[in-house]
Amino acid sequence: MKYSISKQLIKNTKYFLNITYYSFFHRLFHKKGTFYGWGRKKSGLKAIELAKKYQTSFVLLEDGFIRSLGLGVDNSPSFSIVEDDVGIYYDATSPSKLENILNTYDFQSDNKLMKTAKEAIELIKKHHISKYNNAPDIDDNFFKNDTKQKILIIAQTAGDASLQYGLGDIFSTKKIINDAINENPQASIYIKIHPDVLTGKKQSDIKQEDIPKNCTIIDQNINPISLLKHFTKVYTKTSGMGMEALLLDIEVTCYGVPFYSGWGLTNDKQKCNRRNKKLTTKELFAGAYILYTRYYNPYTKQPSNIIDTIQTLLSKKSNL
């Protein structure tokens, strides 16, 4: 049996998993099963607590890396989910299933997987597929008058779990801005605001008073891949856009410890001693986006895969 204390989680994952609400009846009779929760939120922490109490197992859930057409906060139907019975991918303070996959999987012996990863990366780069896919591509004239090297700092949402558990709050965004300016004195510095902040649903982790006048704020909801293509370097704490930058062969500096750092692909301000393997970008992608993620097509109501997900999103995007 699969249980959760969160009715919202059960509703949001009904097409992926058949989870039963953990009621007073189940508590009374100590019904055995696996407890499900959402990441490091209350339901996730409770799932771990109940699993320990009844000497059973837990699984933590999160949105996949290619989630939906629209934003999660707008309840856009999800195409993907991750299930982790070890920890959760954005928590660098302890191991996760993804970390174990990346440390141990023999990617080079799995030709089918690597072929799929290559195809998916090419589609993502060509068609600008991201976690959310309702934002327009950047205007061709946006950087028309800027011929300098361009550096991007990626702001995140205040209180984001990936900042807390990914150790991103150790460094201030002000320091990141100063480092970017000092390390690239001849470049133009841009700061990208998170889409959830632009919709007014969340607050930014960056303070207005910390932004120097010579930095340009990008406060439009722009497709991340189309934006990243204009930059040669990215600075971030733990943003998922850092992973997308790696797919585009952009230099990435991480101040926190996101899932994609520590594998020899990024400039890391912090070290994670558990990550002891050198990976290619394609191997990292295959582990995170394919092996670690489950896909479902909310339109056909059928289990899916990464290629079908991308193709379906392309079809839906063309109708926007």
Average pLDDT of the chain to the nearest whole number? 92
CA 84 to chain centroid: 14
Q: How do residues 154-190 score in pLDDT, each as one tens digit?
A: 988 777 888 999 999 899 888 999 999 999 999 999 9
| E strand intervals along 48-196 | 58-63, 80-84, 150-154, 188-192
* Farthest-apart Cα atoms in the chain, separation: 69
Residues 185 and 90 in one domain: no
- CA-CA distance, 263 to 252, in Å (whole number)? 12
Binned at pLDDT 50, 70 and 90, residue 195 comes out as low
Cβ-contact 34, 3 below 8 angstroms: yes
Cβ-contact 237, 255 below 8 angstroms: yes
First to last CA, the chain: 40
Q: Identify which of 143, 132, 65 has the alpha carbon closest to the alpha carbon of residue 320.
A: 132
User: Residue 192's domain is classified under what CATH number?
Assistant: 3.40.50.2000
DSSP state of 124: H
Residues 175 and 212 in one domain: yes
Residues 144 and 242 in one domain: yes
Name residue 116's amino acid: T
Top-confidence residue, 197 or 91: 91
Q: How do residues 235-293 score in pLDDT, each as one tens digit?
A: 999 999 999 999 999 999 999 999 999 999 999 999 999 999 999 999 999 999 999 99
Residues 158 and 253 in one domain: yes
Residues 155 and 78 in one domain: no
Q: How do residues 221-238 score in pLDDT, each as one tens digit?
A: 899 999 999 999 999 999
Beta-ladder partners of 267: 253
Q: In what order do the strands lie in the sheet with 80-84?
A: 20-21, 2-4, 34-38, 58-63, 80-84, 293-297, 302-304
Residues 54 and 167 in one domain: no
Residue 171 located in a structural domain = yes
Give SS3 for 35: strand
Q: How do residues 107-141 score in pLDDT, each as one tens digit?
A: 999 999 999 999 999 999 999 999 999 999 999 89
Residues 10 and 90 in one domain: yes
- CA-CA distance, 193 to 256, in Å (whole number)? 18
Cβ-contact 256, 92 below 8 angstroms: yes
Both tokens assigned to 271? 């070290």
Task: Give me the number of domains the chain comprises.
Answer: 2
Binned at pLDDT 50, 70 and 90, residue 75 comes out as low
Residue 32 located in a structural domain = yes
- Supply the Cα-derived Rg of the chain in whole angstroms: 20
> Residue 18: which residues within 8 A CB-CB, separation 6 or more?
2
Q: Which of 3-17, 99-113, 204-218, 267-281 has the lowest mean pLDDT?
A: 204-218
At residue 205, the pLDDT reads 64
Pairing of strands 80-84, 293-297: antiparallel
- CA-CA distance, 292 to 289, in Å (whole number)? 6
- CA-CA distance, 249 to 244, in Å (whole number)? 9
Binned at pLDDT 50, 70 and 90, residue 31 comes out as low
Residues 167 and 257 in one domain: yes
Cβ-contact 90, 39 below 8 angstroms: yes
The percentage of the chain sitting over the pLDDT mark of 90, rounded to a whole number, equals 77
Residues 183 and 265 in one domain: yes
Residues 63 and 188 in one domain: no
Residues 166 and 260 in one domain: yes
Domain range holding 85? 2-106+293-317
Residues 144 and 267 in one domain: yes
Q: In what order do the strands lie in the sheet with 215-218?
A: 215-218, 188-192, 150-154, 233-236, 251-254, 267-268
Residue 79 located in a structural domain = yes
Residue 132 located in a structural domain = no
Cβ-contact 173, 207 below 8 angstroms: yes
Query: pTM to 2 decimals?
Result: 0.93
